[in-house]
């Protein structure tokens, strides 16, 4: 049975508790805070560029309005993305809750996946966890473009899945299958947010290498990690900010925890 001794810390949308999510500033801070990995969401612009935006629209996170898929890269690049207020920074227990109140350098611009890959290329110890959003709408274009871009960066053919600089993820089993078709050597995570998959018998019918249950699923069914481990599958869990959740993940042997506060979570794990 394989179990992680200590979960690796993955910065969810960057150090998004302290800086505006999906900005260069948020990812640079995550690397500075010693995150083992960076998580990002990718979408396609109208003119076919991969950009790091979580929501379908830019309404919440920028000064603009509209769906990413209907806007061009040039249009999206003119917006200010510093308005996505970090979620955890409002938390009275967060020692850094005042951080991020004033946007800093790197907090405003649109983040393209290329810029994020440049950052990762310069930080050899950091892995990138890329989640494709709404893959069905584009008939597989997002997955094809993602793997083609990784190929350009020399990151599409790792010597082994364990050594891969990039992990590809989706809530869509179809997207995971497509990702696998484009590269059999890159590791994949099937993300889960429903209770049903917890009846999982250990096989991975969707051909993913790992599963990524939300922390709410592990709270409801802590044996999940052991069942996965018995079949040789590591577990990735999101979004783990609460100290009780961090402790639960450590106790269960979760391999990767995605957190909005890499420094805070690391501090809890090293206690």
Binding site for ligand G3P (CB under 6 A): 12, 39, 41, 54, 131, 191, 238, 258
Closest CB to ligand G3P among 131 and 209? 131
Nearest-angstrom CA–CA distance, 35 and 184: 26
Q: In the complex, what is the shortest distance from the CB of residue 238 to ligand G3P, in angstroms, rounded to a whole number?
A: 4
Report residue 267 CA to chain centroid gap: 20
Residue 191 interaction partner, one of ligand G3P, Ca ion, none, beta carbon < 5-8 Å per kind: ligand G3P
Q: Which is nearer to Ca ion, 24 or 229 (by Cβ)?
A: 24
Q: Which C-beta is closer to ligand G3P: that of 79 or that of 169?
A: 169
Name the residue number minimizing CB distance to Ca ion: 131
Residue 75 a catalytic site member: no
Three-class SS state of 214: strand
Among the listed residues 18, 49, 54, 233, the single catalytic one is 54
- Least gap, CB of 18 to ligand G3P (angstroms): 17
Smallest distance, Å, CB 159 to ligand G3P?
Answer: 25
* Cβ distance to ligand G3P smaller for residue 57 or 75: 57
Beta-carbon contacts of residue 221 (< 8 Å; ≥ 6 apart): 195, 198
Least distance CB 113 / Ca ion (angstroms): 13
Q: Catalytic residue at 12?
A: yes
Is 136 exposed, middle or buried (CB count within 10 Å of its CB: 0-12, 13-18, 19+)? exposed
Residues found near Ca ion in the complex (CB under 5 A): 41, 131
SS3 category, 194: coil
In 122-223, which ranges are continuous DSSP H helix?
Answer: 141-152, 173-182, 215-220
Which residue of the chain is nearest ligand G3P when measured via CB?
Answer: 238
Asked if 20 and 112 touch (Cβ cutoff 8 Å), the reply is no
188 DSSP β-pair partners: 168
Using alpha carbons, select from 218, 255, 258 the residue that is nearest to residue 17: 258
Active site amino acids: 12, 54
């Amino acid at each position: 049975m394989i179990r992680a001794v200590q979960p690796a810390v993955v910065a969810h949308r960057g150090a998004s508790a302290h800086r505006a999510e999906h900005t260069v500033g948020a990812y640079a801070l995550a690397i500075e805070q010693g995150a083992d990995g960076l998580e990002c969401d990718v979408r396609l612009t109208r003119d076919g560029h991969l950009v790091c935006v979580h929501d379908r629209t830019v309404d919440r996170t920028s000064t603009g309005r509209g769906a990413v898929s209907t806007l061009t890269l040039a249009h999206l690049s003119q917006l200010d993305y510093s308005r996505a207020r970090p979620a955890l920074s409002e938390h009275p227990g967060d020692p850094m809750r005042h951080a991020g109140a004033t946007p800093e350098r790197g907090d405003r611009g649109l983040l393209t996946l290329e810029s994020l890959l440049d950052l990762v290329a310069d930080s050899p110890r950091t892995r990138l966890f890329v989640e494709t959003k709404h893959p069905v709408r584009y008939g597989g274009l997002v997955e094809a473009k993602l793997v083609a871009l990784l190929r350009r960066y020399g990151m599409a053919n790792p010597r082994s899945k364990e050594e891969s600089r990039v992990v590809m993820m989706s809530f869509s089993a179809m997207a995971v299958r497509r990702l696998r078709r484009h590269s059999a050597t890159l590791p994949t995570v099937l993300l889960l947010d429903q209770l049903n998959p917890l009846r999982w018998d250990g096989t991975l019918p969707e051909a993913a290498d790992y599963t990524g249950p939300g922390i709410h699923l592990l709270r409801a069914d802590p044996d999940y990690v052991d069942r996965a481990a018995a079949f040789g599958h590591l577990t990735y869990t999101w979004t783990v900010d609460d100290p009780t959740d961090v402790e639960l993940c450590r106790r269960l042997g979760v391999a990767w925890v995605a957190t909005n506060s890499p420094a805070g979570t690391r501090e809890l794990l090293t206690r």
